[in-house]
Amino acid sequence: MKTDTAPVNTENYLDLDLSKHPAVFRNLTPTELYEHAIKNEEGVLTKDMALRVMTGKYTGRSPKDKFTVEEETSKEKVDWGSINQPISEETFDHLYKKVTDYLKDRKIYVMDLFCGADPDYRLPLTVVSEASYHALFSWNMFVRPTEEELKNHGTQFTVLAAPNLKADPATDGTKTETFIVCNFKKRIILIGGTLYSGEVKKGIFGVMNYLLPQDGVFPMHCSANEDENGNTSVFFGLSGTGKTTLSADESKTLIGDDEHGWSDKGIFNFEGGCYAKTIDLSPKKEPLIYATTEMPGTILENVELDENREPIFESRKFTENTRCSYPLTSIPNASDTGVANHPNNIIFLTADAFGVLPPISKLTTGQAMYHFISGYTAKVAGTERGITEPQATFSACFGAPFMPMHPTVYAELLAEKLEKHDTNVWLVNTGWTGGPHGEGERMDLKYTRRMLNAAIDGELENASFTSEPVFGLQIPGQVEGVPDEVLIPRNTWADQNAYDQKAKELAEMFVKNFGKYADQASKDILEGGPKI
Which residues are designated catalytic? 61, 202, 221, 239, 243-244, 258, 323
Give how far Cα 396 sits from Cα of 108, 208, 361, 407, 487, Å: 37, 17, 20, 6, 27
CA–CA–CA angle 465, 467, 469 (5° rounding): 165
What does residue 352 show for φ and ψ, rounded to 5 degrees? -80, 105
What end-to-end distance do the CA atoms of the chain give, in Å?
Answer: 45
Number of residues assigned to the chain: 532
The edge-to-edge listing of strands for the beta sheet with 424-429 is: 253-256, 223-226, 232-237, 343-350, 424-429, 360-362, 474-476, 465-467
Which sign, positive or negative, has the C-alpha torsion 204, 209, 214, 216? positive
Classify residue 7 as exposed, middle or buried by CB count within 10 Å of its CB (0-12, 13-18, 19+).
Answer: exposed
Distance, CA of 115 to CA of 65 (rounded, Å): 24
Distance, CA of 23 to CA of 106 (rounded, Å): 7
CA atoms within 13 A on the CB side of 482: 25
Beta-bridge mates of residue 260: 220, 269
Distance, CA of 96 to CA of 90 (rounded, Å): 10
Beta-bridge mates of residue 378: 392
Distance, CA of 77 to CA of 156 (rounded, Å): 19
Give how far Cα 476 sits from Cα of 359, 423, 452, 480, 490, Å: 10, 17, 12, 11, 14
For residues 141 and 323, the answer to whether their CB atoms sit within 8 Å is: no
Distance, CA of 134 to CA of 203 (rounded, Å): 13
For residues 234 and 260, the answer to whether their CB atoms sit within 8 Å is: yes
Distance, CA of 510 to CA of 370 (rounded, Å): 10
Strands (E), 184-258: 188-192, 218-221, 223-226, 232-237, 253-256
Distance, CA of 522 to CA of 458 (rounded, Å): 31
Beta-bridge mates of residue 224: 234, 256
Distance, CA of 455 to CA of 450 (rounded, Å): 9
Distance, CA of 370 to CA of 341 (rounded, Å): 25
